[in-house]
């Protein structure tokens, strides 16, 4: 694949995700008029989610009509052989968004041939754009970032995600293991943003027993390009079915794997 074409995709996506951020912030400043619906247990969607994804999808289709699209709100289809696909969560952390809290983000990734080629996570509240291309440095607002130099779990927080797609027991077992290792967990609304924080050293790791591709692909690439450790998240079915995700600073990768496996 032409590297110049992916560079153009990257530049386009960086501009588009900021445009999407302007749209979401318009809704965020007027939450009293926002339409919200319940999708499941502690799982909500809003007018802002839908309209933001429609904007992103329309702009990508206009610019890259031959690319596939996998979105949380407007549907997904398996890409054709050799076809790349944009993987989008318009608001990762809607539960926080609709209550006027930070801890949400916009996530856009480009996936092709079993690899995440581009990954962007934008936090409009704090104007922070985390971005990466496979094979290049991860950045925060254009400046290179790296994972932390943690050697164990005792000096920094570990991000933890949870949903009702898994059992309470699965989540609590990891929490107990982490605490026994001297760690402490942090839970915010956005898997994508939590993994971006791992990429820049604000967190030492992140774990979630099941996460969808649109929540995780961009953050996964950010951690990898920031020198971090990742589990085998990109299995054959990860794009449409999701998977277990674990990422960390490089120095505690084996320890994170041990917490996940119970070794």
Provide the residue-wise pLDDT of the chain in tens; the chain has 263 residues. Answer: 456 699 999 999 999 999 999 999 999 999 998 888 776 555 567 899 999 999 999 999 999 999 999 998 887 777 878 899 999 999 999 999 999 999 999 999 999 999 999 999 999 999 999 999 999 999 999 999 999 999 999 999 999 999 888 888 989 999 999 999 999 999 999 999 999 999 999 999 999 999 999 999 999 999 999 999 999 999 988 999 999 999 999 999 999 999 999 87
Question: Residue 160, Cβ neighbours under 10 Å: how many?
Answer: 22
Per-residue model confidence (pLDDT) at position 86: 97
- CATH number, domain 3-144, options 3.40.190.10, 3.30.540.10, 3.40.50.300, 3.40.30.10: 3.30.540.10
What is the location of CATH 3.40.190.80 in the chain?
158-261
The CA–CA distances, whole Å, from 141 to 10, 17, 22 equal: 14, 13, 16
CATH of domain 158-261: 3.40.190.80
Q: How far apart are CA 247 and CA 200, in angstroms?
A: 13
What is the location of CATH 3.30.540.10 in the chain?
3-144
Query: Which residue carries 């409009």 as its tokens?
Result: 124
> Structure pTM?
0.94
Phi and psi, residue 177, nearest 5°:
-65, -40
């Amino acid at each position: 694949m032409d590297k110049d074409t992916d560079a153009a995709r990257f530049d386009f996506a960086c501009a588009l995700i900021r445009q999407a951020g302007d749209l979401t912030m318009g809704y965020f400043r007027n939450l009293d008029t926002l339409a919200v619906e319940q999708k499941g247990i502690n799982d909500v969607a809003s007018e802002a989610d839908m309209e933001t994804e429609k904007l992103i999808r329309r702009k990508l289709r206009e610019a890259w009509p031959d690319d596939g699209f996998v979105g949380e709100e407007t549907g997904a289809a398996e890409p054709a052989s050799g076809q790349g696909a944009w993987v989008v969560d318009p608001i990762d952390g809607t539960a926080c968004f609709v209550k006027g809290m930070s801890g949400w983000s916009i996530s856009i990734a480009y996936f092709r041939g079993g690899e995440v080629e581009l990954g962007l996570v934008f936090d409009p509240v704090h104007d922070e754009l985390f971005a990466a291309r496979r094979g290049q440095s991860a950045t925060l607002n254009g400046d290179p970032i790296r994972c932390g130099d943690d050697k164990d779990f005792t000096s920094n927080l570990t991000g933890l995600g949870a949903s009702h797609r898994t059992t309470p027991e699965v989540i609590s077992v990891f929490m107990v293991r982490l605490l026994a290792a001297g760690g402490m967990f942090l839970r915010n609304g956005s898997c994508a943003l939590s993994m971006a924080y791992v990429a820049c050293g604000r967190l030492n790791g992140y774990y979630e027993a099941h996460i969808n591709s649109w929540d995780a692909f961009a953050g996964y690439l950010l951690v990898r390009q920031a020198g971090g450790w990742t589990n085998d998240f990109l299995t054959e079915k990860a794009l449409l079915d999701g998977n277990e995700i674990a990422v960390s600073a490089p120095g505690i990768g084996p320890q994170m794997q041990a917490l996940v496996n119970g070794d």
